[in-house]
Chain A
Amino acid sequence: MNRGLLIRAFRESWPAMLLLGLVLMGVEAALAFVLPKFGSQMSEQWLQLDFARGIMQAMLGTEIGDHIGPQMFQAVAWVHPVALALTWAHALVSCTRVPAGEVDRGTADVLLGLPVSRWEVFFSETVVWLVCGTALLAAGLAGNLLGIQALPPDHRPQLSRLFIVLANLFCLYAAVGGLAWLVSSLSDRRGRAMTIVFLVLLSLFLLNYLAQFWHPLEKIVFLSPLHYHRPVNVLGNGAWPWRDMGVLLASGGVMWLAGGAVFARRDLCTV
């Protein structure tokens, strides 16, 4: 690991981390505070309606079953489209910096004119991305903890269960990042790479959402990373979703490795 590369990568990454982290903190605080209040105003009978139940299940990505209660609304805070959009936006911004961003900006020449291997650049950027990603999710957790202070103690989720949800979300973040690394390695234009990843994620998000309404899609819903992030189960039973986390980490890892291999072998042309 090269110290200079780490310094450079961190200097380029912290503004996005700080900005998105603060916004995520605010969003999580607001959701954690508002959603349970919203839930208390809804009768369980309302959730027995197919339509209302469908929407809630689509958002949570799983059968509600007997999870109706405060933890269900707490879980929404971790699958809410705004929260997901913020974490994914960070993964997208961070993981398309190298090589697509550097080639696009024209700074790849100076960076790779230094005595560093492409794998070293890739590793350094990855380390900084993962550190920043951890900080981003920690900011989300801090916001969530702030928001739930306003709830009655028996409505607050257990901290240990929140950590499991966060670990699962981190795996989802890593899978999205892995995809972004791969697309970035294949591209010379950062905007193009971000657009491709965004469209893929949007399709997978919709797949997970629509599968709750249109049953033929259930056969392919396993392709969506959201299928492996179901905080309502974790908050309900406190069990580690090892299989889900494993699938997300493995798919993210394979795509990241493929991205690194492509970057190490490809031609780089900024002119």
Chain B
Amino acid sequence: MVSLIQLDNLTRRYGRRRAVERVSLSVPEGTLFGFLGPNGAGKTTTIRVMLGFLQPTSGQARIFGLDCWRESKAIKQDIGYLPGDLRLPPWMNGLNALWIFGAVRDKDLTGAGGELAEKFDLDLRVKVRDMSRGMRQKLGLILALAHSPRLLVLDEPTSALDPLMQQVLHDLLRQLAAAGHTVFFSSHSLSEVEQLCDHVAIVRDGEIVANESLDLLRNRAGHDVTIRWRNDASSAPIEPPDFLKLTRREGMIWQGTLDGPVPRLVEFLAGKPVEDLSVGRPDLESLFRRYYEHDREDRR
């Protein structure tokens, strides 16, 4: 599959402070790619380098095979971009925004923009100065989507949308991905990325700590295990095996992560006074927490 976005050892510092460090990413065409991390992790800096707003300190960022700093204009012909903190001139309304953006792109965006406005339930005659944050976000999405770009770069696009509109956006993005468009979706909302994306990169402290498909990520992360013993006394003498890392051991309850196949655990528990056993794949939220907990432990 063709890589639309290719970041190689991308580093960006602000003076002595590092924002992103040796980030390497490859985003295949036609994917819904989640870029996940808490505030300040380096998501927006990475996007700003991709859009040609910031020059990399070292490393390289390429989109469509072109250099993001030197060939920024050519790249942006086929990109729809929604900034994280969207600001538009206050005198603008949706209609003249579409007209002006269309004039810049040398395309008539009024038809497509009107259709999107219907989907997002936005009155295009309202001026930006009179819009709520959610309305401005909808207008930003319309302006990013109206020219049907090959690549959509959305920096926390649902932050100001109500759940109904989030669903509309999710549906739209799925349709676009199915039609071969690529979506680079930055978020700190774990459940949202889990619902929407098929591939995810987790950024922590400016570094990529995971970058793979959600299924692979879950497989690699092992299983969440909860064991309930018959009583306190029955579990007390039992020591957990190496492949079971306990995060909680309180009375009758053991909770932890299984590193290895499930039958191995079943074999270990056979004949022991177990009342209940629950084994499941972790959700993205717990995976995410795990990455950050490891980080805190490393620092200690």
Which residues of A are at the interface with B, using a C-beta cutoff of 8 A?
2-5, 7-8, 11-12, 105-110, 112-117, 120, 265, 267-271
Contact = CB atoms under 8 A, between A and B. Distances in A.
B48 interface: yes
B236 to A, nearest CB: 54
A113 B151 CA distance: 13
B257 to A, nearest CB: 36
Contacts, number: 86
Interface string B259-277: 0000000000000000000
Given A8-B104, A110-B86, 18 more contacts: A3-B103, A4-B101, A4-B106, A11-B100, A107-B88, A107-B89, A110-B81, A112-B53, A113-B76, A113-B79, A114-B101, A115-B76, A115-B77, A116-B76, A116-B104, A117-B73, A267-B55, A268-B54
| Residue among A4, A7, A113, A265 with most chain B CB within 10 A | A113
A269 B87 contact: no
Interface string B94-112: 0010011111111000000
A106 B76 contact: no
Nearest to A270: B85
A4 B54 contact: no
A140 B77 CA distance: 42
A207 to B, nearest CB: 36
A106 B155 CA distance: 15
A110 B51 CA distance: 11
Given A267-B53, A269-B48, A271-B44, A110 B100 contact: no
Contacts of B99: 7
Which interface class (under 10, 10 to 19, 20 to 34, 35 or more) fits B? Answer: 20 to 34
A4 B73 contact: no
B140 interface: yes
Contacts of A271: 44, 84-85
Contacts of A110: 81, 83, 86-88, 140, 143
B52 interface: yes
Contacts of B96: 11
A117 B72 contact: yes
30 contacts: A2-B103, A4-B102, A4-B103, A4-B104, A7-B99, A8-B100, A8-B104, A11-B96, A12-B91, A105-B87, A107-B88, A108-B53, A109-B53, A109-B83, A110-B87, A110-B143, A112-B51, A114-B76, A114-B104, A114-B105, A115-B79, A115-B104, A115-B105, A116-B104, A117-B73, A267-B53, A268-B53, A268-B54, A270-B83, A271-B84
